[in-house]
Structure 1
Amino acid sequence: MYELLVLLILVVAIVMVTARLKISPFLALVGAAILAAFAYRIPLADVASTVTTAFGSTMGNIGLVILFGTMIGVILEKSGAAISMADALIKVLGTRFPNLTLSIIGYIVSIPVFCDSGYVVLNSLRKAITLRTGVSGLATSIALMTGLYATHTMVPPTPGPLAAAESIGIADNLGLIIAVGLPVAAISALAGLAYASRFNKSQWTPLPSDDHNDISELDYEQLRASFGKLPSPALAFMPILVPLVLICAASIAKLPSHPIGEGTALEILSFLGTPVIALIFGLISSTFLLSGGSKLAVFNEQMNEAVRTAAPILLITGAGAGFGAVLAASDLTTILSDSLSGLGLGLAVPFLIAAALKSAQGSSTVSMVTTSALVAPMLGSLGLDSELGMVLAVLAVGAGAMVVSHANDSYFWVVSQLSRIPVITAYKTLSVATAIQGTAAFLTVLVLGAVLL
């Protein structure tokens, strides 16, 4: 009971200091790790090494993956590639089904680009489609928001799923996570889309605009013009498709049946499909999107921005791993295993913990990092210690990390303010939408678990 009480106090403390006092989640997690080590009576000589070893191991395993993925995302955002991809999808899908079009665009764009940035870049497109089709702006906002959110929490190389995969111990098989995560995220996005369609004819009064200089306030054609000549759709999609294809192809090649044999071809494809190598090729392909007088200067500037964006995520991920290592070294894991083994909760445990942390402190990434560190030692007792079980655990964490987005979440404010949705309306619609899509994702994971585990 003492160990569980300590864990509860630490989790509440992490939430309070990050949400109320606005202290960095990195510092909160490091502090929680040290306090946990003292509370669980880990030998003083082992405290620092337990935290730093886990931190270093995590950085070694996924640090470069997160960094290269962020670099690709920044280039896609700054080059206008996201707009080019959106234009290409509109040509294929048309504007007959505006909500579906926006949901699919968001679903694809958010695989490498943060959902917040994706919404900022695509908001002008959303407004243009809204005006062109006469559908309520509330409906198109929800459709784009939920499409972006689905892959943001469930499909690598977004940092949250990567961090969860590393903590849970399945980071060496990202291809399987992608293969399972994409359809689960699609069902999640479809749930959000169905909810968005309820508001097609909704009558509501948008808030007045306060910022006439923001990129999101540009007319769509003005936004397109601001990027100059847009890259071709083929070049725009390449930085996403190259690493995904390489990672998935390597996973297929390494199946027990060895579909391409066991010789040099397998060795080469396994190398190319290593996440770091695959993302390096994705980054190389993204350099064809660069434009301007000095491409090298533009590249260096965007890489510096990517490093600044990735740095806090890397630190939070490493600190979460250190916190998890302390918990794993204590008696807590045995107590939790004994307590949970007979309850048959399985996948509900990572989902509920992630949902509680997400609702309490706001950040989906912090929720995924913390939850995966907490549940990793329990996988055996939850019946999730197989390779597929660990993949489903990552997706259950991702589903919980969507439930729910509200006032303590930056994404809630990005969507509500750019779409000029009043706060009370945003609570009734945006927050509900994330609850629906997160629950739909979890139910899908549950069905997969019942069939496959």
Structure 2
Amino acid sequence: MEAIEPAYGTAVLLLIAAGAVALLLFLIMKVRLHAFVALVGVSVVTAIAVGFPLADVPDVLMFGFADTIGSVALLVAFGVMLGRLLEVTGGAQVLADTLIGRFGESRAPFALGVAALCFGFPIFFDAGLVVFLPIILTVARRFGGSLLLYALPAAGAFAAMHAMVPPHPGPVAATEQLGGDIGVTLLIGAPIAVAAWYVGVYLVSRLLGRRVYVPVSDVVFGEVRDERGLSGAEREAEQEDGGAVRLGRTPPRFGVVAALLLVPLVLISFDTVLNTLGTAGALDPDVGAAAFMGLLGATPVALMITVVVAILVLGRPRTSMAHVRTIVDQALGPVCSIILITGAGGMFGGVLELSGIGDALSSSLSGLGISLILQAFVIATLLRVAQGSATVALTTTGGLIAGAVAEADLGDVRTALLVVAIAAGATVLSHVNDSGFWLVSRFFGMDEKTTLKTWTVMETTLGLSAFAIAAGLWAVL
């Protein structure tokens, strides 16, 4: 669906966007209206306010909602199935124990973050977070304290890799638009992402975790469990039958669990590598064996295959298929709200995107008389705040400054630094028009105010850290 021709000037459009965000926060945080209802209602009001024809409003709402639901629903569904199997069979506990044994209890959050950095290289933010969720919750439940101490380092690692490092789509698209080299962007972006993660995520998460207490949430995987991972019903059954063996009492070996988690990593790598080679013109990813490997590497297909493998190697050897079916069926119920709210967040962002706010803002900023790298960061930041999507902010900013970059003849290294600066701006200030904001809020059981005080702050420090490093290198290279 195409954006409309703006009926108002940039200042009015930005005021409408700011008013919509303020209204949404008021309805959710003060009136206590359900987030899904509030998001849909404010999306309708915003669509009318910016001048969409009334007959087109339903299609405008479906644009962002359908796009977000289409990408999130399958990932969340397969992800929680996998997570539930890892939890009840003891696989998540085995991974947690191994990480803690290697790094030590005091460095468990660091271990989770490092593992997420490695896992996040080829895997998108939402898919990686879903797969890692049971491990995060298991470690947090074991050691206590605020969930933020363990959740933010891992979630921030996925966010950093997704925004700044090829072969993720945002940095790849921006590199292509600016005429840079993807390999150089990878070599520059990866170490900057890791350094920015350490400063802007890991160190900040330690501070936030001490100041803001978030209890371990079981909104995804069900009722609260004790330190052995037993629910209340399981503890009662254990007392009645003298300690019968449950799934988690015969946990899988670490090698089995690690190999299982490598399945989506390897499969998704097929798709990302093939797309990168296709962008570079080295092969056609849409024909022959490359197309088949790309299908296997599509994130929903890769997670589906992983769930089937998990059923065969974790569930079926320990119980009947009927019990396995019950386990995965029970995992789906709690995530319906997460999927709908995330989709509604995408709906709100889609309305803002189609309203022309981003284009109006871009045209008004194109003549800024400031350094090119600062201009890239500022434009990406404003686009991110205005319409929510980091990928849209990346690609829009890349196209906007492409002409100036071509005239400056910067070279591959400085072009890569520009891509990082754009990605940094597209990362900061995640808020209610970002579907990722709602995914994090619901997965970690945080209300909107707490999410703004923690996740939004951490995303901002991550983006600022990355920009500071890129700007420093820009000055000396």
TM bucket (normalised to shorter chain) is: 0.5 to 0.7
What is the rounded CA distance, in whole Å, between the counterparts of 2:206 and 2:473 in structure 1? Answer: 31
Structure 1 residues 12 and 169: CA distance shift in structure 2, 3 A = farther
Q: Is the 8 A contact 2:376 2:421 kept in 1?
A: no
Amino acid at match of 1:148: A
Amino acid at match of 1:16: F
Aligned to 2:107: 100
Structure 1 residues 56 and 261: CA distance shift in structure 2, 3 A = closer
Aligned to 2:364: 339
Amino acid at match of 2:465: L
What is the rounded CA distance, in whole Å, between the counterparts of 1:27 and 1:104 in structure 2? Answer: 38
Q: Deviations over 1:156-208 (max 9, x none)?
A: 7xxxxxxx989x999xxxxx999999867644553355568899xx9x9x9xx
Give the CA deviation at 1:275: 1.5
Which ranges of structure 1 fall in alignment gaps of 5 or more residues? 128-136, 157-163, 171-175, 207-213, 358-368, 415-425
Give the CA deviation at 1:296: 2.5
Q: Does 1:284 align with 2:294?
A: no
Q: Is the 8 A contact 1:74 1:302 kept in 2?
A: yes
Q: Deviations over 1:116-165 (max 9, x none)?
A: 765542135436xxxxxxxxx79xx8753442342464567xxxxxxx98
CA RMSD in angstroms, aligned pairs only? 5.3
Aligned to 2:128: 111
How many residue pairs are counted as aligned between the two chains? Answer: 387
What is the rounded CA distance, in whole Å, between the counterparts of 1:52 and 1:262 in structure 2? Answer: 28
Q: Does 1:20 align with 2:21?
A: no
What is the rounded CA distance, in whole Å, between the counterparts of 1:290 and 1:30 in structure 2? Answer: 39
Structure 1 residues 261 and 326: CA distance shift in structure 2, 3 A = closer
Give the CA deviation at 1:294: 4.2
- Return the TM-score normalized by structure 1: 0.65
Give the CA deviation at 1:53: 4.0
Q: Is the 8 A contact 1:351 1:396 kept in 2?
A: yes
1:60-99 matches, within 5 Å, as 60-91=70-101, 93-95=102-104, 98-99=105-106
Aligned to 1:236: 257
Aligned to 1:35: 45
Structure 1 residues 107 and 326: CA distance shift in structure 2, 3 A = same
What is the rounded CA distance, in whole Å, between the counterparts of 2:391 and 2:287 in structure 1? Answer: 37
Q: Does 1:444 align with 2:466?
A: yes
What is the rounded CA distance, in whole Å, between the counterparts of 1:377 and 1:6 in structure 2? Answer: 24
Q: Is the 8 A contact 2:66 2:343 kept in 1?
A: yes
Q: Is the 8 A contact 1:402 1:438 kept in 2?
A: no
Aligned to 2:326: 301
Q: Does 1:52 align with 2:52?
A: no
Q: Deviations over 1:9-61 (max 9, x none)?
A: 10111112122223232222211221112112211111112212443344334
Match 1:218 to one of 227, 238, 241: 227
Give the CA deviation at 1:228: 0.7
Q: Is the 8 A contact 2:69 2:339 kept in 1?
A: yes
Q: Does 1:126 align with 2:143?
A: yes
1:132-147 matches, within 5 Å, as 144-147=150-153
What is the rounded CA distance, in whole Å, between the counterparts of 1:320 and 1:74 in structure 2? Answer: 26
Q: Is the 8 A contact 1:146 1:437 kept in 2?
A: no
Which ranges of structure 2 fall in alignment gaps of 5 or more residues? 1-10, 117-126, 163-167, 175-182, 214-222, 236-244, 369-373, 406-415
What is the rounded CA distance, in whole Å, between the counterparts of 1:392 and 1:307 in structure 2? Answer: 39
Q: Is the 8 A contact 1:65 1:279 kept in 2?
A: yes
Match 2:248 to one of 220, 227, 230: 227
What is the rounded CA distance, in whole Å, between the counterparts of 1:193 and 1:413 in structure 2? Answer: 20
**Structure 1 residues 39-48 or 183-192, which shifts more?**
183-192
What is the rounded CA distance, in whole Å, between the counterparts of 2:132 and 2:305 in structure 1? Answer: 23
**Structure 1 residues 9-18 or 296-305, which shifts more?**
296-305
What is the rounded CA distance, in whole Å, between the counterparts of 2:350 and 2:258 in structure 1? Answer: 38
Amino acid at match of 2:42: A
**Structure 1 residues 185-194 or 44-53, which shifts more?**
185-194
Aligned to 2:290: 266
Match 2:154 to one of 136, 143, 148: 148
Q: Is the 8 A contact 1:14 1:29 kept in 2?
A: yes
Q: Is the 8 A contact 2:380 2:425 kept in 1?
A: yes
What is the rounded CA distance, in whole Å, between the counterparts of 2:59 and 2:402 in structure 1? Answer: 28
What is the rounded CA distance, in whole Å, between the counterparts of 1:24 and 1:198 in structure 2? Answer: 30
What is the rounded CA distance, in whole Å, between the counterparts of 1:54 and 1:165 in structure 2? Answer: 18
Structure 1 residues 27 and 76: CA distance shift in structure 2, 3 A = same
What is the rounded CA distance, in whole Å, between the counterparts of 1:221 and 1:179 in structure 2? Answer: 45
What is the rounded CA distance, in whole Å, between the counterparts of 2:156 and 2:251 in structure 1? Answer: 26
**Structure 1 residues 40-49 or 16-25, which shifts more?**
16-25
Amino acid at match of 1:82: A
SS at the partner of 1:111? helix
Structure 1 residues 150 and 30: CA distance shift in structure 2, 3 A = same
SS at the partner of 2:376? coil
Structure 1 residues 436 and 56: CA distance shift in structure 2, 3 A = closer
Amino acid at match of 1:126: F
Structure 1 residues 436 and 196: CA distance shift in structure 2, 3 A = closer
Amino acid at match of 1:76: L
Give the CA deviation at 1:323: 2.6
What is the rounded CA distance, in whole Å, between the counterparts of 2:355 and 2:285 in structure 1? Answer: 44
Q: Is the 8 A contact 1:142 1:433 kept in 2?
A: no
Q: Is the 8 A contact 1:120 1:216 kept in 2?
A: no
What is the rounded CA distance, in whole Å, between the counterparts of 1:303 and 1:225 in structure 2? Answer: 16
Q: Is the 8 A contact 1:142 1:193 kept in 2?
A: no
Q: Is the 8 A contact 2:338 2:443 kept in 1?
A: no
Q: Deviations over 1:54-101 (max 9, x none)?
A: 43344334432332233223322333222111222344x253xx4334
SS at the partner of 2:128? coil
Structure 1 residues 194 and 328: CA distance shift in structure 2, 3 A = closer
Match 2:198 to one of 180, 186, 190: 190
